[in-house]
Amino acid sequence: MNDKMYLLTGAAGFLGSNVSRALVDQGCSVRALVLAGDPAAEMIPPDVEKVTGNLLDGDSLERLFDVPPGIEIIVLHIASFVTVVPEWNQKVYEVNVIGTKNIIEKCLEHKAKKLVYVSSTGAIPECSRGQIKEPDSLSPELVVGCYAKTKAIATQLVLDAARDKGLDASVVYPSGICGPNDFAYGFVAQFVINYVEGNMPAGIAGSFNSVDVRDLAQGVIACAEKGRKGEGYIMSNCFVTIRELFLLISKLSGVPEVKIILPIPLARFVAFISETIARLRKKTTMFTTYSVYNLARNNDFDCSKAMRELGYQCRSFEETIRDTVRWLIKEGKIDTLVSILS
């Protein structure tokens, strides 16, 4: 295993920490780019070599890529600036697009053996019905929101580098990411907390699709080993309706099920009011018109290509939510009927 080194960006994040841990468990040599002063760096396994820097700093990227002669470089570009605010944000563009461009250039300069870029299903144009598959190309004009647009631009840069510059690069398109040990308390973890604490009096008539971070981490590693040059792979779970999600969380936590489900037009109106109040109070809210859009859109993603070509597998969504609830109870984030989970 000493003839190759995995170079990771985003190793301190939810997915990146799981990927780095899985690689270390396999005996791989791993080096990670870490932001200066990032408190989440403690989530990176101690066996991982850390390089302080960022995607926009050429000197730190050079240190990341400077490996001994004869060592193959495998780059897993996981880092990104995630935002649920749909309006354009220059910083999001710089990290997601310029940062990816810099990684591509370093891969070419240092003759990286492989690049795996973690994109997002949000970068894939939505189809109104049927399963959504991997696209041949992407365009920011065809997707909604700043994050999705920047990921579409960055993904196309990777695909272009594979096609035009000979870079052996593959793309992973995760749906939402969830599971235990999400110490940033992302969307799904916060969703569960709010529901169990009774802060979610109603749902909307939408759907949800989220992949277990543990399965996604294995899928990213498999893509580095088996992913075809210039190809993309959706890694998702089955989609569930909000009503099904409410029923599942209630079953696993013991709290009463929320029965009220708002139709989409009413949900959009309520979200607009919620956004307006939050703006006036200079606070944030999870219930926005953009969050309603993401729940109302088609979330039926087809991961059969990743299963067929990479051996990708995803555990049941019920198992993921059960493990997440157990972890939140252990962390003291929710106080509920532990006996339900035994």
Q: If you average pLDDT over every residue of the chain, what do you get?
A: 93
Lowest mean pLDDT: which of 162-176, 268-282, 302-316? 268-282
pLDDT value of position 2: 64
Closest by CA to 333, choosing from 205, 221, 197, is 197
pLDDT tens, residue by residue, 83-96: 888 889 999 999 99
* Selection from 100, 46, 54 nearest residue 76 by Cα: 100
pLDDT of 291 over the 70 cut: yes
Confidence of residue 339 (pLDDT cuts 50, 70, 90): very low
The domains of the chain are located at 4-184+210-237
For 207-220, the pLDDT digits (tens) are 989 999 999 999 99
Nearest to 33 by CA among 4, 13, 61: 61
Q: Tell me the pLDDT band of 342, cut-offs 50, 70 and 90.
A: very low
Indicate the pTM of the whole model: 0.94
Task: Kindly report, residue by residue over 226-237, the tens digit of the pLDDT.
Answer: 999 999 999 999
Q: Is pLDDT at 12 greater than 80 in this prediction?
A: yes
Using the predicted structure, report yes or no on whether residue 341 has a pLDDT greater than 70.
Answer: no
Predicted confidence (pLDDT) per residue in 311-326, tens digit: 999 999 999 999 999 9
Say whether pLDDT at 338 is over 90: no
pLDDT band (50, 70, 90) for residue 284: confident
pLDDT value at 67 more than 90? yes
- CATH number for the region 4-184+210-237 comes to 3.40.50.720
Type of residue found at 285:
T
283 pLDDT tier (thresholds 50, 70, 90): confident
Q: HEC states along the chain?
A: CCCEEEEEECCCCHHHHHHHHHHHHCCCEEEEEECCCCHHHHHCCCCCEEEECCCCCHHHHHHHHCCCCCCEEEEEECCCCCCCCCCCCHHHHHHHHHHHHHHHHHHHHCCCCEEEEECCHHHCCCCCCCCECCCCCCCHHHCCCHHHHHHHHHHHHHHHHHHHCCCCEEEEEECEEECCCCCCCCHHHHHHHHHHCCCCCCEECCEECEEEHHHHHHHHHHHHHHCCCCCEEEECCCCEEHHHHHHHHHHHHCCCCCCCEECHHHHHHHHHHHHHHHHHCCCCCCCCHHHHHHHHCCCCECCHHHHHHHCCCCCCHHHHHHHHHHHHHHCCCCCCCHHHHC
* pLDDT tens-digit map of 157-209: 999 999 999 999 999 999 999 999 999 888 899 999 999 999 888 999 999 89
Least confident of 131-140, 314-323, 327-336: 327-336
Query: pLDDT-derived band of residue 337, with 50, 70 and 90 as boundaries?
Result: low
Cβ atoms of 252 and 321 within 8 Å: the answer is yes
Asked whether the predicted pLDDT for residue 279 surpasses 90, the reply is no
